[in-house]
Amino acid sequence: MEKYKRNERIGAIIKVLGDNPSKVITYNYFSELFSAAKSSISEDILVVKKTIETLKMGRIETIAGAAGGVRYIPIMDDMERKDFINSLCNKLRDKNRIISGGYIYYTDIIYSPELVDKIGKIIAGKYIFKEIDYVVTMETKGIPIALMTARYLNRPLIIVRRDSKVTDGAIVSINYMSGTSSKISTMSLSKRSISNGSKVIIVDDFMKGGGTALGIIDLLKEFDTKVEGITVLIASKTPEDKLVKDYDPLMVLQHLDAQKEIVDIVPYEHKDYV
């Protein structure tokens, strides 16, 4: 069996942990991968932990016990998080992004792999130490953000649909009302997609009146599910009396004036990040 030098093992360990955020990788796995003693792997992990945490690239958590293991906790440094959200706000303040109806164009942002990866990492940081079973979103624009969040939490993604598909099998459907237009719509979820009694978070791209979020909450009640949190990329300041009260946006659209070409969007300051 080929023997690897310590610097080679450390490089590979960082790669494996980075590719599997929030997933426990056993010492046995690394020991067999490198044909090295567990004591050597343990020393390698200490070097990895010191490097990652000194550079503020996240945290390395070791798990004691017979099997033993290590996992990478993908937490963005607070200053990096603030700088990134500020940069998003600067992009979104461009008057050419104004869309009639009180909205702004941001599809390019949520479909950018680089940007949406960081957005997902930020949202995951809020829930990284909570017991979460699923990440739930509404089709379709919320999917990239929720998918990246699910990746960093190492949890499955559940997509609530507006129209059921024959491939979903048996479904649960409810009617819900928009928080702004009072329009009644339908949403559905496959009975096979989620286990009863699960703990979930809801992640979406935009919240205006909160009708969609409330609809998802009501739908999840059919599965005896507990919602541990709601996070959206952008929330509009108005209407202030939203249908859901407990939610966290990354940014707040305070004011949009299409005639004067003004977009006032700011970071949402919240201290409940790791």
- Domain of 40, in residue numbers: 6-73
Whether 273 is in a domain gets the answer no
Q: Which of 47, 73, 99 is the last residue of a domain?
A: 73
Res 24: pLDDT? 95
* Count of structural domains, the chain: 2
Q: How far is CA 53 from the centre of its chain?
A: 21
CATH at residue 36: 1.10.10.10
- For residue 147, what pLDDT band results from cuts at 50, 70 and 90? very high
Query: Residue 215: which CATH number?
Result: 3.40.50.2020
Please give the helix or strand (H or E) that residue 251 lies within, else none.
Answer: strand 248-257
233 and 100, same structural domain? yes
Residues 23 and 66 both lie in one domain? yes
- Does 272 map to a domain? no
Per residue in 170-200, pLDDT (tens digit) is 999 999 987 666 788 899 999 999 999 999 9
Q: Tell whether 274 is covered by a domain.
A: no
Residue 272 has pLDDT above 60, yes or no: no
Residue 31 has pLDDT above 50, yes or no: yes
Q: How far is CA 216 from CA 120, 185, 273, in A?
A: 20, 12, 24
Shared domain check, 219 and 90: yes
157-160/171-177 β-pairing: unpaired
* Whether residue 212 sits in one domain with residue 100: yes
**One domain, residues 110 and 194:** yes
Distance, CA of 109 to CA of 86 (rounded, Å): 14
Q: How confident is the model at residue 273 (pLDDT cuts 50, 70, 90)?
A: very low
Q: Per the domain annotation, does 139 fall within a domain?
A: yes
The pTM of this model reads: 0.93
Based on the domain organization, do 88 and 64 belong to the same domain?
no
Give the model confidence (pLDDT) of 202-227 as tens digits: 999 999 999 999 999 999 999 999 99
Are 218 and 254 part of one and the same domain?
Answer: yes
CB distance 248 to 125 below 8 Å: no
